[in-house]
Amino acid sequence: MARWDKQDTSSIPDWFWTAIETEAQTRSVEVDECDVVYRFYPSPGKPGMLLIHGMNAHSRWWDFIAPQLLDEYEVAAMDLTGMGDSDYRYEYAADTFADEIKAVLDHAGFGGDATVVAHSFGGYMAVRAANRHPQRFQTLVLVDSGIRHPDDPPPEHSMMMMGARAKVYPDKDNALSRFRLQPPQPCANEYILQYIARNSLMPVDGGGWAWKFDEDLLAGMKDPDRHPEDYAGLTLKLGLIYGEESELFSQRTLAYMRELIPQDFPAVGIADAQHHVFLDQPLAFVAALRELCRELRSG
């Protein structure tokens, strides 16, 4: 991408430019009559790793993460349908998202030893995929993604986050100024937010710009709730990375997951990170992910 005109980019670290300037292939695979788009970073001979975004996000949230992993993995980052550049559906379901995950793993040529790394909403879709296609991948790393204890109320901002609707802005600059994370949180890495915002917009027929997600996604989602039995059914290697200051992931959530999941699993908290862990602390996240995956693959 162009190095943002008319802005002082001297404070943006070199590792970020190196990552986002790493070329990725754009690929797609059809699932239930919809194209599922994904970005692919070839690294022949290495095990596969699939990165999955959260609600109303897309594959390009991983642009500054994926290239840092290519010395150990061949990497793909997908757009779940209804988000990013993938097609929109009339109806969405966790089982369909699970089939999309399998389809991308297949289309990318990843073997049964693949690792899936999934953030937030994408984490539950990956949990469903692990139940629906239990032999398709070997390792799952959940990123600030879990299931609340049944006695815990939903976080204050969760309904606003899930019910976010796309807006049409008259021009690109106006839209960029309105980009916000959900749930609301500060992020010290403004350059990362700007990059994501710039890659989250699409032109609208008739004029204007909108964010790349289906405004009817939530309304068209069948059975959006997370089910304890899906976590209790996990048999693959599992790891967890969460933000120590996350509004959406608590120690009680972690304890409840340990009750449900029929295996011990490592969990790593990232200091000074909230729900969007890899935006808040990208280098610490990559280091933690590397170490966690090595631990899981050697176990």
Domain positions in the chain:
14-152+217-298
Structure confidence at residue 24 (pLDDT):
98
Structure confidence at residue 55 (pLDDT):
95
Structure confidence at residue 161 (pLDDT):
44
Among residues 200, 267, 220, the alpha carbon closest in space to that of 239 is found at 267
Average pLDDT over residues 207-230: 92
Structure confidence at residue 250 (pLDDT):
94
Q: How far is CA 168 from the centre of its chain?
A: 24
Which whole-number Å values give the CA distances from 258 to 110, 261, 267, in the listed order?
A: 29, 5, 10
The rounded percent of the chain whose pLDDT value lies above 70 is 93
- Convert the pLDDT of each residue in 164-202 to its tens digit: 555 889 999 998 998 999 999 999 999 999 999 999 999
One-character DSSP codes across 227-290: -HHHHHT--SEEEEEEETT-SS--HHHHHHHHHHSSS---EEEETT--SSHHHHSHHHHHHHHH
* Residue the block writes with tokens 């239930």: 32
- Cβ 82 vs Cβ 57: under 8 Å: no
- What one-letter code names the amino acid at 155? P
- Cβ 299 vs Cβ 138: under 8 Å: no
Structure confidence at residue 269 (pLDDT):
98
Higher pLDDT, 152 or 292: 292
Mean pLDDT over each residue of the chain, to the nearest integer: 93
One-character DSSP codes across 21-44: TS--EEEEEEETTEEEEEEEE--T
Measured CA to CA, the distance from residue 143 to residue 161 in angstroms comes to: 17
- Convert the pLDDT of each residue in 250-271 to its tens digit: 999 999 999 999 999 999 999 9
**SS3 of 110, please?**
coil
One-character DSSP codes across 189-239: -HHHHHHHHHTSEEE-TTS-EEESB-TTTTTTEES-S--HHHHHT--SEEE
Residue 19 confidence (pLDDT) above 90: yes
Structure confidence at residue 8 (pLDDT):
64
The answer as to CATH 2.40.30.10 being correct for domain 14-152+217-298 is no
Express the helix, strand and coil content of the chain in percent, nearest 5 each: 30, 20, 50
Average pLDDT over residues 110-119: 98
Structure confidence at residue 10 (pLDDT):
77
Measured CA to CA, the distance from residue 278 to residue 274 in angstroms comes to: 9
Structure confidence at residue 7 (pLDDT):
60
Residue 119 confidence (pLDDT) above 50: yes
Structure confidence at residue 225 (pLDDT):
86
Band (152; pLDDT cuts 50, 70, 90): confident
Rg (CA), the chain: 18
Average pLDDT over residues 85-113: 98
- What one-letter code names the amino acid at 144? D
Structure confidence at residue 137 (pLDDT):
98
Q: Could you tell me the two tokens for 247?
A: 């509004």
Band (4; pLDDT cuts 50, 70, 90): low
Which whole-number Å values give the CA distances from 112 to 1, 106, 166, in the listed order?
A: 34, 10, 37
Structure confidence at residue 166 (pLDDT):
58
Average pLDDT over residues 220-236: 93
Residue 130 confidence (pLDDT) above 80: yes
Least confident of 17-31, 103-117, 206-220: 206-220
- Cβ 81 vs Cβ 97: under 8 Å: yes
